[in-house]
Structure 1
Amino acid sequence: MDSNCRKDSIALDKRVRDAGLRPTRQRIALAELLFAKGDRHLSAEELHEEALAAGVPISLATVYNALHQFTEAGLLRILAVEGARTYFDTNTSDHHHFYIEGENRIFDIEGGPVMVNNLPEPPEGMEIANVDVVVRLRPKRRL
């Protein structure tokens, strides 16, 4: 293991610990896959495939559990865009997304804020914490 890999592994261990999670071997392996390539949007199934391809022996159930633990700890943001399919976003800042129907591909909307007007009043004692906008795309239909 070269010194850069060792430093990255130590940084991930610290990041997981600082989020209040125990840095198990499987959590660290999944964190390496999640965070080593910059901001990403992944489903549990996609991460599971990546883990297996990288030689990480892990069950899909364990991947789901780890992703939900990372989300609860604030390391990931959950995106529900396609019925039962959930995506996990490594960028936890407030931002919005494009989703390409039929391709199951999601990516960030760049270029500033999205304006949402006429939001309903929240119930008594509640406040709006965040508004997630997912703009669905498809190829133009030719006439």
Structure 2
Amino acid sequence: MRPATGYQQTKWSRVDTVNATVIGLGAWCDYVPESDPRVLRFQVEEFAVLSDGRRLTLTADRGWSSSLVGSPTTDDAWSFLTLAEVTETVLVVVGPDEGDQTTDAHPWALLAERLRAQDVDTTPGALRDLPYEVVLSERLQARISST
């Protein structure tokens, strides 16, 4: 399930973006269903919001998993999770990879490169100044709220 308003995943397809500019960035997160209630898996996609209302996918290879270990009082890993924790983890996951030689909290150069590959002219500095939002899927929000 994707965010309802105008989310358009392009996966590197070329579209007419000549006059569009980037007005915002964000990360979208959803969970991947698991048969084991002690295991949680999440997928994260980063996107750019363009001035013409479209959202372009910039990265779709991020995510994380966690599992209960030891002897917890419940077998349901969801009972230990909050929306705030998921939001914080999303921001860590979209940050630079371990070992990257950067002082930035985000890989702005990579995002600018991916936008230029989709014919959107921008720079890392311009992206750094834009608002960044974390969007949790409705399904994920409902799953966490139900525990």
Which TM bucket (shorter chain)? under 0.3
Could you state the TM-score of these two structures normalised by the residue count of structure 1? 0.27
Larger Rg: 1
Q: Which has the higher helix share?
A: 1
Could you state the TM-score of these two structures normalised by the residue count of structure 2? 0.27
